[in-house]
Structure 1
């Protein structure tokens, strides 16, 4: 019963308010998701973020395979953080905390995702071969997209770590 934790940090030269406006708009998930994933929001992105909000997506994580993913926004502190949790989808557990911390000259985004894969030992086997690589690519794409949109700040401080917990 292995669980994993992804921790990502990215510094951007924007205000907390500007970061919040972008990151808390569910429609912007498509902007920061690699096009190859075929990410499509089906329901729930028509209002500003709020606790209890249900968002349904369709994704193509691997060629020839698509799935629906339903998340709930469980916690929101405007301008500071929000939490989304999978209610239905490809993971047994997906708990994603998004923090926006002010720094000198901008903000630091911090993501902490605790997740568990299905299929027992097969899921553990698939983690280093497919899942970890895909999550790394998704966050790399997101980092590059956000830098193209907003610039970068202290790029050497950006980090991505995925480990078993």
Structure 2
């Protein structure tokens, strides 16, 4: 199994508490996803984030391909980081670490995702054509929406 990594950072002019309150609320994920993803929370997002929380979503990662995505919050260390993993969904492996670092004038949001694709060599072949561009689009849209909501830190 080939494992890939996404590593992003974004600086925002908000407090660590504000960043934590926003990012640790599962309902806010819908606010920062691209509209064309058809992101819809099905269950599990009514409580504040906690270790062991199971959240179900419907997503449309590619045109005409709607799927259920089930994640589990495996680690929560308020207000520093949390980790979610995919229990069921489009990836063979999805492990996403969300960090909030306090910096001068605000915070730096850091995401580290390790993922693997299904279908062996076929999944590896479609990664540069379909999967990586879609993931780049999702993280770019997320950055733009976070900037729209909170501004930017130079």
Task: Report the TM-score, using the length of structure 1 for normalisation.
Answer: 0.92
- Secondary structure of the residue that 2:52 maps to in structure 1? coil
Runs of 4+ in 1 over 6 A off after TM superposition: none
Deviation sequence 1:8-28 (CA, Å, 0-9, x none): 000000000000000000000
Superposed CA offset, 1:51-106 (max 9, x none) = 00000000011111100000000000011000000000110100000000000000
- Map 1:1-165 onto structure 2 (within 5 A): 1-154=1-154
Aligned residue for 1:143, secondary structure, equals helix
Structure 1, gaps ≥5 residues long: 155-165
TM-score (norm 2): 0.99
CA RMSD of aligned residues (A): 0.5
Task: Tell me how far apart the structure 1 counterparts of residues 144 and 63 of structure 2 sit (CA, whole Å).
Answer: 23
Any idea what the Cα deviations from partners look like across 1:17-54, whole Å, max 9, x if unmatched?
Answer: 00000000000011000000100000000000000000
Aligned residues: 154
